[in-house]
Amino acid sequence: NAGVTQTPKFQVLKTGQSMTLQCAQDMNHEYMSWYRQDPGMGLRLIHYSVGAGITDQGEVPNGYNVSRSTTEDFPLRLLSAAPSQTSVYFCASSYSFRGVPYEQYFGPGTRLTVT
Dihedral angle over CA of 108, 13, 61, 57, nearest 10: -50
The answer to whether residue 61 forms part of the interface with another protein (CB under 8 A) is: no
Which long-range CB contacts under 8 A does 59-65 form with residues at least 24 apart? Answer: 60/36, 64/34
Q: Give the side-chain half-sphere CA count within 13 A for 102.
A: 5
The answer to whether residue 102 forms part of the interface with another protein (CB under 8 A) is: yes
Residue window 1-30: x/- pattern of binding to another protein, with contact defined by CB under 8 A: ---x--------------------------
Residue from 48, 68, 78, 112 touching another protein (CB under 8 A): that is 48
Q: Cβ closer to another protein: 18 or 26?
A: 26
Smallest separation (angstroms) from another protein to the CB of 60: 11
Instruction: Report the sign of the C-alpha dihedral through residues 11, 68, 27, 100, in that order.
Output: positive
Residue from 12, 16, 59, 113 touching another protein (CB under 8 A): that is 59
